[in-house]
Amino acid sequence: MTRDSRMVWDDCLRTIKKSVSPQSFKTWFEPIKPVQLDTEVLTIQVPNKFFFEWLEEHYVQLLKKSIRQELGERGRLVYHIPESGSKPNGHSSNSSKLDTRPSADKDSEPVPGSFDAEMIKNPFIIPGIKRIKVDPQLNANYTFENFIEGDCNRLARNAGLAIAKKPGGTAFNPLFIFGDVGLGKTHLAQAIGNDVVSKIESKAVLYVSAEKFTNQIIQAIKNNSVNDFVNFYQMIDVLIIDDIQFLSGKQKTQEIFFHIFNQLHQNGKQIILTSDRPPKDLEGMEERLISRFKWGLSADLQAPDLETRMAILETKMDEEGVDIPSDVLEFICYNIKNNIRELEGVMVSLLAQSTLIRRDVDMVLAKEVIRNFVTTINKEITVEFIQQLVAEHFNVPVEKLHHETRKRNIVIARQLSMYLAKKLTNKSLKSIGEQFGGRDHSTVIYSCKAVQDMMDTDIVFKDTVEEVEKKLKMSLNI
Ligand code: ADP
Ligand code: MG
Protein backbone atom coordinates (compact mmCIF):
# COMPACT_ATOMS: atom_id res chain seq x y z
CA MET A 1 0.00 0.00 0.00
CA THR A 2 1.34 3.45 -0.82
CA ARG A 3 1.22 5.91 2.01
CA ASP A 4 -0.03 9.44 1.60
CA SER A 5 1.08 12.55 3.43
CA ARG A 6 -1.64 12.15 6.04
CA MET A 7 -0.57 8.65 6.95
CA VAL A 8 3.10 9.53 7.13
CA TRP A 9 2.39 12.57 9.25
CA ASP A 10 0.08 10.61 11.55
CA ASP A 11 2.89 8.14 12.11
CA CYS A 12 5.29 11.00 12.84
CA LEU A 13 2.80 12.41 15.30
CA ARG A 14 2.69 9.13 17.14
CA THR A 15 6.43 9.35 17.74
CA ILE A 16 6.27 13.03 18.62
CA LYS A 17 3.44 12.55 21.07
CA LYS A 18 5.60 10.29 23.17
CA SER A 19 8.26 12.96 23.61
CA VAL A 20 6.34 16.16 24.34
CA SER A 21 3.81 17.26 26.93
CA PRO A 22 0.14 17.05 25.94
CA GLN A 23 -0.07 20.84 26.06
CA SER A 24 2.91 21.29 23.73
CA PHE A 25 1.52 18.66 21.44
CA LYS A 26 -1.77 20.46 21.25
CA THR A 27 -0.19 23.85 20.76
CA TRP A 28 2.56 23.04 18.32
CA PHE A 29 1.69 19.85 16.49
CA GLU A 30 -2.06 19.54 16.24
CA PRO A 31 -2.41 22.70 14.09
CA ILE A 32 0.01 21.31 11.51
CA LYS A 33 -1.50 19.97 8.30
CA PRO A 34 0.34 17.56 6.02
CA VAL A 35 -0.11 18.73 2.43
CA GLN A 36 2.15 16.78 0.14
CA LEU A 37 4.43 13.80 0.00
CA ASP A 38 7.15 13.34 -2.64
CA THR A 39 9.06 10.17 -1.90
CA GLU A 40 11.44 11.52 0.72
CA VAL A 41 10.00 14.96 1.27
CA LEU A 42 6.95 15.63 3.38
CA THR A 43 5.45 19.11 3.09
CA ILE A 44 3.55 20.32 6.10
CA GLN A 45 1.57 23.48 6.51
CA VAL A 46 2.01 25.58 9.64
CA PRO A 47 -0.19 28.56 10.55
CA ASN A 48 2.51 31.23 10.35
CA LYS A 49 6.19 31.97 10.34
CA PHE A 50 6.31 32.21 14.09
CA PHE A 51 5.24 28.59 14.24
CA PHE A 52 8.00 27.63 11.90
CA GLU A 53 10.60 29.47 13.94
CA TRP A 54 9.36 27.95 17.12
CA LEU A 55 9.41 24.42 15.76
CA GLU A 56 12.84 24.97 14.30
CA GLU A 57 14.17 26.25 17.58
CA HIS A 58 12.57 23.77 19.91
CA TYR A 59 11.67 20.63 18.06
CA VAL A 60 14.02 20.29 15.14
CA GLN A 61 15.73 17.17 16.47
CA LEU A 62 12.47 15.50 17.29
CA LEU A 63 11.03 16.31 13.87
CA LYS A 64 14.16 15.09 12.18
CA LYS A 65 14.09 11.85 14.09
CA SER A 66 10.44 11.15 13.43
CA ILE A 67 10.58 12.00 9.73
CA ARG A 68 13.65 9.83 9.19
CA GLN A 69 11.95 7.03 10.99
CA GLU A 70 9.11 7.25 8.51
CA LEU A 71 10.88 8.18 5.27
CA GLY A 72 14.37 6.81 5.75
CA GLU A 73 17.73 8.51 6.30
CA ARG A 74 17.17 10.99 3.46
CA GLY A 75 13.71 11.91 4.61
CA ARG A 76 13.05 15.58 5.30
CA LEU A 77 10.40 18.17 5.91
CA VAL A 78 9.46 21.27 3.98
CA TYR A 79 7.23 23.85 5.60
CA HIS A 80 4.47 25.63 3.83
CA ILE A 81 3.36 28.93 5.30
CA PRO A 82 0.15 30.47 4.00
CA GLU A 83 0.52 34.17 3.54
CA SER A 84 -2.11 36.17 5.39
CA GLY A 85 -3.04 39.30 3.50
CA SER A 86 -0.55 41.18 1.42
CA LYS A 87 2.37 42.93 3.03
CA PRO A 88 3.45 46.42 2.06
CA ASN A 89 6.72 45.23 0.61
CA GLY A 90 5.16 41.86 0.11
CA HIS A 91 6.13 38.79 -1.79
CA SER A 92 3.61 38.31 -4.47
CA SER A 93 3.42 34.55 -4.17
CA ASN A 94 0.51 33.11 -2.29
CA SER A 95 2.63 31.02 -0.06
CA SER A 96 6.12 30.78 1.24
CA LYS A 97 8.13 27.68 1.53
CA LEU A 98 10.90 27.32 3.97
CA ASP A 99 13.48 24.64 3.79
CA THR A 100 13.67 23.31 7.25
CA ARG A 101 16.35 20.79 6.98
CA PRO A 102 18.26 20.88 10.20
CA SER A 103 20.96 23.51 9.94
CA ALA A 104 23.75 20.97 9.57
CA ASP A 105 22.24 19.71 6.32
CA LYS A 106 21.77 23.09 4.79
CA ASP A 107 25.01 23.28 2.87
CA SER A 108 23.55 20.88 0.38
CA GLU A 109 21.48 22.15 -2.50
CA PRO A 110 18.54 24.37 -1.55
CA VAL A 111 15.02 23.28 -2.26
CA PRO A 112 13.56 25.04 -5.30
CA GLY A 113 11.18 27.76 -4.22
CA SER A 114 12.64 28.05 -0.78
CA PHE A 115 14.07 31.29 0.51
CA ASP A 116 16.19 32.42 3.35
CA ALA A 117 14.34 33.65 6.42
CA GLU A 118 16.32 36.90 6.18
CA MET A 119 14.39 37.84 3.07
CA ILE A 120 11.29 38.37 5.14
CA LYS A 121 12.94 41.28 6.88
CA ASN A 122 12.25 44.71 5.60
CA PRO A 123 14.95 46.32 3.47
CA PHE A 124 13.94 49.92 4.16
CA ILE A 125 15.86 50.66 7.31
CA ILE A 126 17.58 53.97 6.82
CA PRO A 127 20.98 53.96 8.43
CA GLY A 128 21.98 56.87 10.59
CA ILE A 129 18.51 58.33 11.08
CA LYS A 130 18.45 60.96 13.79
CA ARG A 131 18.04 59.45 17.24
CA ILE A 132 15.73 61.00 19.76
CA LYS A 133 15.64 60.59 23.47
CA VAL A 134 12.20 59.54 24.54
CA ASP A 135 10.90 58.83 28.02
CA PRO A 136 9.44 55.38 27.44
CA GLN A 137 6.68 55.87 30.05
CA LEU A 138 7.22 52.36 31.31
CA ASN A 139 6.55 50.96 34.75
CA ALA A 140 9.78 49.28 35.80
CA ASN A 141 7.91 46.75 37.93
CA TYR A 142 6.57 44.95 34.90
CA THR A 143 9.32 42.59 33.83
CA PHE A 144 9.65 39.18 32.25
CA GLU A 145 11.21 37.83 35.45
CA ASN A 146 8.03 38.41 37.39
CA PHE A 147 5.70 37.49 34.57
CA ILE A 148 5.11 33.84 35.42
CA GLU A 149 4.86 31.48 32.50
CA GLY A 150 1.97 29.05 32.25
CA ASP A 151 0.02 27.28 29.54
CA CYS A 152 -2.27 30.30 29.57
CA ASN A 153 0.37 32.72 28.30
CA ARG A 154 3.19 30.63 26.84
CA LEU A 155 2.84 31.68 23.23
CA ALA A 156 2.47 35.37 24.00
CA ARG A 157 5.25 35.39 26.56
CA ASN A 158 7.72 33.63 24.30
CA ALA A 159 6.85 35.78 21.33
CA GLY A 160 7.47 38.74 23.63
CA LEU A 161 10.88 37.40 24.57
CA ALA A 162 11.79 36.87 20.95
CA ILE A 163 10.75 40.43 20.12
CA ALA A 164 12.70 41.87 23.02
CA LYS A 165 15.80 40.20 21.62
CA LYS A 166 15.27 41.55 18.13
CA PRO A 167 12.69 44.32 18.05
CA GLY A 168 11.35 44.72 14.54
CA GLY A 169 13.44 41.79 13.42
CA THR A 170 11.00 38.95 13.89
CA ALA A 171 7.91 37.94 11.98
CA PHE A 172 5.70 39.03 14.87
CA ASN A 173 5.15 42.56 13.80
CA PRO A 174 2.80 43.74 15.04
CA LEU A 175 2.50 41.61 18.13
CA PHE A 176 -1.16 41.73 18.99
CA ILE A 177 -1.80 40.58 22.56
CA PHE A 178 -5.42 40.06 23.47
CA GLY A 179 -7.38 38.69 26.40
CA ASP A 180 -9.83 39.52 29.15
CA VAL A 181 -9.19 42.16 31.74
CA GLY A 182 -6.63 41.41 34.41
CA LEU A 183 -4.84 38.63 32.59
CA GLY A 184 -1.53 40.40 32.08
CA LYS A 185 -1.69 42.24 28.75
CA THR A 186 -0.26 45.46 30.11
CA HIS A 187 2.33 43.63 32.15
CA LEU A 188 3.58 41.63 29.20
CA ALA A 189 3.61 44.54 26.76
CA GLN A 190 5.57 46.62 29.26
CA ALA A 191 7.93 43.75 30.01
CA ILE A 192 8.95 43.75 26.36
CA GLY A 193 9.55 47.50 26.50
CA ASN A 194 11.56 47.28 29.71
CA ASP A 195 13.66 44.48 28.34
CA VAL A 196 14.49 46.40 25.18
CA VAL A 197 15.36 49.54 27.13
CA SER A 198 17.64 47.62 29.47
CA LYS A 199 19.48 45.87 26.66
CA ILE A 200 19.66 48.41 23.89
CA GLU A 201 19.88 51.89 25.26
CA SER A 202 19.77 53.51 21.86
CA LYS A 203 16.29 52.20 21.04
CA ALA A 204 13.44 54.65 21.40
CA VAL A 205 10.70 52.78 23.20
CA LEU A 206 7.33 54.31 23.93
CA TYR A 207 4.40 52.95 25.90
CA VAL A 208 1.12 54.76 25.53
CA SER A 209 -2.46 53.84 26.27
CA ALA A 210 -4.82 54.12 23.32
CA GLU A 211 -6.76 56.61 25.36
CA LYS A 212 -3.79 58.88 25.88
CA PHE A 213 -2.85 58.49 22.23
CA THR A 214 -6.35 59.64 21.27
CA ASN A 215 -6.19 62.63 23.60
CA GLN A 216 -2.85 63.63 22.15
CA ILE A 217 -4.37 63.57 18.70
CA ILE A 218 -7.28 65.70 19.79
CA GLN A 219 -4.82 68.22 21.25
CA ALA A 220 -2.70 68.13 18.10
CA ILE A 221 -5.71 68.81 15.93
CA LYS A 222 -6.65 71.73 18.15
CA ASN A 223 -3.13 73.14 18.02
CA ASN A 224 -2.71 72.51 14.36
CA SER A 225 0.26 70.28 15.05
CA VAL A 226 -0.78 66.93 13.66
CA ASN A 227 2.34 66.80 11.52
CA ASP A 228 4.61 67.17 14.53
CA PHE A 229 2.64 64.48 16.28
CA VAL A 230 3.04 62.08 13.39
CA ASN A 231 6.72 62.92 13.00
CA PHE A 232 7.36 62.25 16.63
CA TYR A 233 5.73 58.82 16.51
CA GLN A 234 7.63 57.93 13.40
CA MET A 235 10.87 58.20 15.30
CA ILE A 236 9.91 55.49 17.76
CA ASP A 237 11.62 52.10 17.45
CA VAL A 238 9.28 50.12 19.66
CA LEU A 239 5.77 51.50 19.94
CA ILE A 240 3.46 49.90 22.49
CA ILE A 241 -0.18 50.93 22.39
CA ASP A 242 -2.28 49.49 25.18
CA ASP A 243 -6.00 48.73 24.88
CA ILE A 244 -6.26 49.49 21.21
CA GLN A 245 -9.99 48.63 21.31
CA PHE A 246 -10.35 52.15 22.63
CA LEU A 247 -9.87 53.43 19.09
CA SER A 248 -13.10 51.75 17.99
CA GLY A 249 -15.43 54.24 16.40
CA LYS A 250 -12.80 57.01 16.47
CA GLN A 251 -12.29 57.54 12.81
CA LYS A 252 -9.88 60.43 12.78
CA THR A 253 -7.62 58.79 15.35
CA GLN A 254 -7.69 55.57 13.37
CA GLU A 255 -6.69 57.40 10.24
CA ILE A 256 -3.67 58.99 11.87
CA PHE A 257 -2.72 55.76 13.58
CA PHE A 258 -2.97 53.95 10.25
CA HIS A 259 -0.47 56.32 8.79
CA ILE A 260 1.94 55.95 11.72
CA PHE A 261 1.55 52.17 11.68
CA ASN A 262 2.48 51.94 8.03
CA GLN A 263 5.51 54.14 8.39
CA LEU A 264 6.83 52.26 11.38
CA HIS A 265 6.15 48.87 9.91
CA GLN A 266 7.79 49.73 6.64
CA ASN A 267 10.86 50.95 8.45
CA GLY A 268 11.19 47.74 10.40
CA LYS A 269 10.09 49.27 13.68
CA GLN A 270 8.33 47.12 16.23
CA ILE A 271 4.67 47.61 17.03
CA ILE A 272 3.02 45.99 20.03
CA LEU A 273 -0.69 46.29 20.58
CA THR A 274 -2.97 44.97 23.28
CA SER A 275 -6.71 44.54 23.11
CA ASP A 276 -9.53 43.00 25.07
CA ARG A 277 -10.59 41.00 22.02
CA PRO A 278 -9.07 39.48 18.86
CA PRO A 279 -8.68 41.71 15.80
CA LYS A 280 -11.67 40.23 13.99
CA ASP A 281 -14.02 41.21 16.83
CA LEU A 282 -12.97 44.85 16.93
CA GLU A 283 -16.17 46.54 15.94
CA GLY A 284 -15.95 50.10 14.72
CA MET A 285 -12.37 49.55 13.58
CA GLU A 286 -11.48 50.13 9.96
CA GLU A 287 -10.99 46.99 7.95
CA ARG A 288 -7.56 48.08 6.71
CA LEU A 289 -6.40 48.42 10.30
CA ILE A 290 -7.82 45.05 11.33
CA SER A 291 -6.06 43.41 8.43
CA ARG A 292 -2.76 45.00 9.52
CA PHE A 293 -3.28 43.82 13.08
CA LYS A 294 -3.27 40.31 11.66
CA TRP A 295 0.00 40.67 9.81
CA GLY A 296 2.22 39.60 12.65
CA LEU A 297 1.21 37.39 15.51
CA SER A 298 -2.02 37.53 17.46
CA ALA A 299 -1.50 35.81 20.76
CA ASP A 300 -4.10 35.50 23.46
CA LEU A 301 -3.77 35.42 27.20
CA GLN A 302 -6.10 33.02 28.89
CA ALA A 303 -7.19 32.58 32.47
CA PRO A 304 -4.39 30.83 34.32
CA ASP A 305 -4.85 27.34 35.71
CA LEU A 306 -4.57 26.59 39.40
CA GLU A 307 -0.85 25.85 39.38
CA THR A 308 -0.05 29.04 37.53
CA ARG A 309 -2.25 31.09 39.84
CA MET A 310 -0.44 29.64 42.80
CA ALA A 311 2.95 30.31 41.28
CA ILE A 312 1.95 33.92 40.55
CA LEU A 313 0.66 34.53 44.03
CA GLU A 314 3.65 32.89 45.64
CA THR A 315 6.01 35.09 43.65
CA LYS A 316 4.09 38.22 44.61
CA MET A 317 4.17 37.22 48.25
CA ASP A 318 7.87 36.58 48.04
CA GLU A 319 8.36 40.02 46.59
CA GLU A 320 6.47 41.44 49.57
CA GLY A 321 8.60 39.37 51.89
CA VAL A 322 5.57 37.64 53.33
CA ASP A 323 5.21 34.00 54.16
CA ILE A 324 1.84 32.56 53.51
CA PRO A 325 0.81 29.06 54.58
CA SER A 326 0.34 26.81 51.59
CA ASP A 327 -3.23 25.86 52.50
CA VAL A 328 -4.20 29.54 52.53
CA LEU A 329 -2.47 30.07 49.20
CA GLU A 330 -4.30 27.13 47.72
CA PHE A 331 -7.61 28.22 49.16
CA ILE A 332 -7.32 31.68 47.64
CA CYS A 333 -6.27 30.36 44.26
CA TYR A 334 -9.10 27.85 44.19
CA ASN A 335 -11.59 30.62 44.69
CA ILE A 336 -10.23 33.43 42.55
CA LYS A 337 -10.14 31.98 39.10
CA ASN A 338 -10.51 34.41 36.30
CA ASN A 339 -8.55 37.45 37.08
CA ILE A 340 -5.03 37.94 38.32
CA ARG A 341 -5.69 41.48 39.39
CA GLU A 342 -8.39 40.19 41.70
CA LEU A 343 -5.99 37.62 43.05
CA GLU A 344 -3.65 40.43 43.98
CA GLY A 345 -6.56 42.35 45.45
CA VAL A 346 -7.30 39.52 47.84
CA MET A 347 -3.66 39.37 48.78
CA VAL A 348 -3.41 43.07 49.48
CA SER A 349 -6.50 43.04 51.71
CA LEU A 350 -5.22 39.99 53.45
CA LEU A 351 -1.93 41.67 54.23
CA ALA A 352 -3.62 44.90 55.25
CA GLN A 353 -5.94 43.06 57.59
CA SER A 354 -3.19 41.03 59.10
CA THR A 355 -1.04 44.12 59.77
CA LEU A 356 -3.90 46.22 61.06
CA ILE A 357 -5.24 43.72 63.49
CA ARG A 358 -1.93 41.97 63.97
CA ARG A 359 -3.18 38.57 63.07
CA ASP A 360 -1.34 35.85 61.26
CA VAL A 361 -2.47 35.11 57.76
CA ASP A 362 -4.44 31.94 58.30
CA MET A 363 -7.44 30.18 56.83
CA VAL A 364 -9.93 31.97 59.05
CA LEU A 365 -8.69 35.36 57.97
CA ALA A 366 -8.44 34.24 54.35
CA LYS A 367 -12.08 33.18 54.37
CA GLU A 368 -13.20 36.48 55.84
CA VAL A 369 -11.30 38.44 53.23
CA ILE A 370 -12.30 36.33 50.31
CA ARG A 371 -15.97 36.68 51.16
CA ASN A 372 -15.71 40.30 50.08
CA PHE A 373 -14.40 39.29 46.70
CA VAL A 374 -16.45 36.29 45.78
CA THR A 375 -20.08 37.21 45.79
CA THR A 376 -21.27 33.82 44.69
CA ILE A 377 -19.66 31.98 47.53
CA ASN A 378 -21.87 29.23 48.83
CA LYS A 379 -22.58 28.91 52.48
CA GLU A 380 -23.25 25.21 52.37
CA ILE A 381 -22.82 22.33 50.04
CA THR A 382 -25.94 21.64 48.05
CA VAL A 383 -26.78 18.64 45.90
CA GLU A 384 -26.95 20.93 42.84
CA PHE A 385 -23.51 22.25 43.52
CA ILE A 386 -22.11 18.74 43.81
CA GLN A 387 -23.78 17.75 40.56
CA GLN A 388 -22.40 20.80 38.84
CA LEU A 389 -18.86 20.26 39.99
CA VAL A 390 -18.83 16.52 39.31
CA ALA A 391 -20.31 17.03 35.85
CA GLU A 392 -17.67 19.63 35.15
CA HIS A 393 -14.93 17.34 36.40
CA PHE A 394 -16.12 14.47 34.21
CA ASN A 395 -16.82 16.81 31.35
CA VAL A 396 -20.47 15.77 30.94
CA PRO A 397 -23.52 18.05 30.70
CA VAL A 398 -25.05 18.33 34.15
CA GLU A 399 -28.57 17.50 32.95
CA LYS A 400 -27.37 14.07 31.86
CA LEU A 401 -27.12 13.17 35.55
CA HIS A 402 -30.91 13.24 35.72
CA HIS A 403 -31.61 11.06 32.73
CA GLU A 404 -31.57 7.35 32.08
CA THR A 405 -28.37 6.36 30.33
CA ARG A 406 -25.90 3.53 30.21
CA LYS A 407 -22.96 5.61 29.14
CA ARG A 408 -20.27 4.59 31.55
CA ASN A 409 -18.78 7.99 32.41
CA ILE A 410 -22.24 9.44 33.00
CA VAL A 411 -23.25 6.53 35.21
CA ILE A 412 -20.08 7.00 37.24
CA ALA A 413 -20.54 10.76 37.47
CA ARG A 414 -24.09 10.21 38.70
CA GLN A 415 -23.11 7.59 41.25
CA LEU A 416 -20.27 9.73 42.51
CA SER A 417 -22.56 12.75 42.86
CA MET A 418 -24.95 10.68 44.93
CA TYR A 419 -22.12 9.38 47.07
CA LEU A 420 -20.81 12.87 47.73
CA ALA A 421 -24.31 14.21 48.36
CA LYS A 422 -24.78 11.53 51.00
CA LYS A 423 -21.40 12.21 52.52
CA LEU A 424 -21.35 15.99 52.48
CA THR A 425 -24.95 17.12 52.92
CA ASN A 426 -27.61 16.36 55.53
CA LYS A 427 -30.12 15.36 52.90
CA SER A 428 -32.03 12.12 53.27
CA LEU A 429 -31.55 9.28 50.80
CA LYS A 430 -35.05 9.95 49.55
CA SER A 431 -34.52 13.62 48.81
CA ILE A 432 -31.14 12.95 47.20
CA GLY A 433 -32.78 10.39 44.91
CA GLU A 434 -35.44 12.91 43.97
CA GLN A 435 -32.83 15.36 42.81
CA PHE A 436 -31.47 12.84 40.34
CA GLY A 437 -34.48 12.66 38.06
CA GLY A 438 -36.78 11.18 40.71
CA ARG A 439 -34.91 8.02 41.65
CA ASP A 440 -35.77 6.19 44.85
CA HIS A 441 -33.67 5.77 47.96
CA SER A 442 -32.50 2.25 47.06
CA THR A 443 -30.79 3.61 43.95
CA VAL A 444 -28.88 6.05 46.14
CA ILE A 445 -27.80 3.26 48.50
CA TYR A 446 -26.74 1.16 45.55
CA SER A 447 -24.73 4.04 44.08
CA CYS A 448 -22.95 4.79 47.35
CA LYS A 449 -21.99 1.14 47.62
CA ALA A 450 -20.80 1.02 44.02
CA VAL A 451 -18.58 4.05 44.57
CA GLN A 452 -17.18 2.59 47.78
CA ASP A 453 -16.39 -0.69 46.02
CA MET A 454 -14.68 1.08 43.16
CA MET A 455 -12.61 3.15 45.55
CA ASP A 456 -11.50 -0.01 47.31
CA THR A 457 -10.37 -1.69 44.14
CA ASP A 458 -9.30 1.14 41.87
CA ILE A 459 -6.67 3.48 43.20
CA VAL A 460 -6.99 5.90 40.31
CA PHE A 461 -10.70 6.22 40.93
CA LYS A 462 -10.05 6.74 44.62
CA ASP A 463 -7.74 9.63 43.73
CA THR A 464 -10.42 11.10 41.50
CA VAL A 465 -12.98 10.97 44.30
CA GLU A 466 -10.59 12.61 46.70
CA GLU A 467 -9.75 15.29 44.19
CA VAL A 468 -13.39 16.11 43.55
CA GLU A 469 -14.12 16.15 47.25
CA LYS A 470 -11.24 18.51 47.85
CA LYS A 471 -12.40 20.76 45.03
CA LEU A 472 -15.84 20.91 46.58
CA LYS A 473 -14.50 21.81 49.98
CA MET A 474 -12.11 24.35 48.56
CA SER A 475 -14.79 26.00 46.49
CA LEU A 476 -16.98 26.46 49.51
CA ASN A 477 -16.64 28.41 52.61
CA ILE A 478 -16.52 25.45 54.95
P1 ADP B 1 -4.56 43.48 31.73
O2 ADP B 1 -3.73 44.55 31.12
O3 ADP B 1 -4.70 42.28 30.86
O4 ADP B 1 -5.89 43.93 32.24
P5 ADP B 1 -2.50 43.53 33.73
O6 ADP B 1 -1.30 43.40 32.88
O7 ADP B 1 -2.80 44.85 34.31
O8 ADP B 1 -3.77 42.94 32.99
O9 ADP B 1 -2.34 42.45 34.90
C10 ADP B 1 -3.08 42.49 36.09
C11 ADP B 1 -2.17 42.14 37.25
O12 ADP B 1 -1.85 40.76 37.16
C13 ADP B 1 -0.87 42.90 37.19
O14 ADP B 1 -0.53 43.33 38.48
C15 ADP B 1 0.13 41.89 36.68
O16 ADP B 1 1.41 42.11 37.26
C17 ADP B 1 -0.45 40.59 37.17
N18 ADP B 1 -0.14 39.47 36.26
C19 ADP B 1 -0.78 39.12 35.15
N20 ADP B 1 -0.25 38.04 34.57
C21 ADP B 1 0.79 37.70 35.36
C22 ADP B 1 1.75 36.65 35.30
N23 ADP B 1 1.74 35.74 34.33
N24 ADP B 1 2.68 36.60 36.29
C25 ADP B 1 2.68 37.51 37.27
N26 ADP B 1 1.80 38.50 37.39
C27 ADP B 1 0.86 38.61 36.44
MG1 MG C 1 -4.18 46.56 30.82
pLDDT value for 117: 30
Q: Could you identify the atom of ligand 1 that is nearest to the CA of residue 141?
A: 16
375 — pLDDT class (breaks 50, 70, 90): low
Instruction: List the residue whose alpha carbon is closest to atom 6 of ligand 1.
Output: 184
pLDDT value for 263: 93
Decide if 109 is inside a domain.
no
pLDDT digits (tens, 9 = 90+) for 285-312: 999 999 999 999 999 999 999 999 999 9
Residues 462, 388 within the same domain: yes
Overall domain count for the chain: 4
What's the CATH number where 85 sits?
Answer: 3.30.300.180
What's the CATH number where 253 sits?
Answer: 3.40.50.300
1 — pLDDT class (breaks 50, 70, 90): low
- Rounded distance from Cα 218 to ligand 2 centre (Å): 22
115/165: higher pLDDT: 165
Spatial contact of 415 and 400, defined as CB atoms under 8 Å apart: no
Please count the residues of the chain: 478
pLDDT digits (tens, 9 = 90+) for 146-205: 999 999 999 999 999 999 999 999 999 999 999 999 999 999 999 999 999 999 888 999
Helices (H) and strands (E) in the chain, counts: 18, 9
Q: What is the mean pLDDT of residues 225-232?
A: 90
207 — pLDDT class (breaks 50, 70, 90): very high
Q: Which residues make Cβ contacts (< 8 Å) with residue 169, sequence separation at least 6?
A: 121, 268
Residues 272, 320 within the same domain: no
100/141: higher pLDDT: 141
Residues 164, 277 within the same domain: yes
pLDDT value for 120: 26
Residues 252, 339 within the same domain: no
Other Cβ atoms closer than 10 A to 109 = 7
Q: Could you identify the atom of ligand 1 that is nearest to the CA of residue 147?
A: 24
Winning range, highest mean pLDDT, from 125-129, 145-149, 343-347: 145-149
Angle, helices 326-335 vs 459-475, to 10°: value is: 80
**End residue of a domain, out of 80, 98, 116:** 98
Decide if 133 is inside a domain.
no
Residues 205, 91 within the same domain: no
Residues 318, 294 within the same domain: no
Which of 154, 178, 209, 341 is the pocket-test mutation for ligand 1 (most atoms within 8 Å of CB)? 341
Spatial contact of 16 and 29, defined as CB atoms under 8 Å apart: yes
Q: Could you identify the atom of ligand 1 that is nearest to the CA of residue 150?
A: 23
Q: What is the mean pLDDT of residues 379-392?
A: 85
pLDDT value for 124: 30
Which of 103-117, 195-209, 420-434 shows the lowest mean pLDDT across its residues?
Answer: 103-117
Ligand 1-lining residues (CB < 6 angstroms): 146-148, 153, 179, 181-187, 312, 340-341, 344
Please determine, for residue 89, whether its predicted confidence score (pLDDT) is greater than 60: no
pLDDT value for 434: 93
Report how far residue 245's alpha carbon sits from residue 266's, in angstroms, rounded to the nearest whole number: 23
> How far does CA 261 lie from the centroid of its chain?
25
Decide if 120 is inside a domain.
no
Report how far residue 179's alpha carbon sits from residue 303's, in angstroms, rounded to the nearest whole number: 9
pLDDT value for 380: 65
Residues 84, 222 within the same domain: no
Decide if 334 is inside a domain.
yes
442 — pLDDT class (breaks 50, 70, 90): very high
Domain range for 349 is 306-370
Decide if 243 is inside a domain.
yes
pLDDT value for 351: 83
pLDDT digits (tens, 9 = 90+) for 449-467: 999 999 999 999 999 999 9
pLDDT digits (tens, 9 = 90+) for 66-77: 999 999 988 888
What's the CATH number where 321 sits?
Answer: 1.10.8.60
Spatial contact of 241 and 214, defined as CB atoms under 8 Å apart: no
Please determine, for residue 355, whether its predicted confidence score (pLDDT) is greater than 60: yes
Decide if 35 is inside a domain.
yes
Which of 97-101, 165-169, 385-389 shows the lowest mean pLDDT across its residues?
Answer: 97-101
Q: Which residues make Cβ contacts (< 8 Å) with residue 401, sequence separation at least 6?
A: 387, 390, 391, 410, 413, 414, 417, 436, 437
Residues 335, 265 within the same domain: no
Instruction: List the residue whose alpha carbon is closest to atom 14 of ligand 1.
Output: 341
**End residue of a domain, out of 274, 301, 328:** 301
368/246: higher pLDDT: 246
Which of 187, 314, 315, 338 is the pocket-test mutation for ligand 1 (most atoms within 8 Å of CB)? 187
Decide if 27 is inside a domain.
yes
Residues 263, 229 within the same domain: yes
Query: Which residues have CB less than 5 Å away from ligand 2 (the ion)?
Result: 185-186
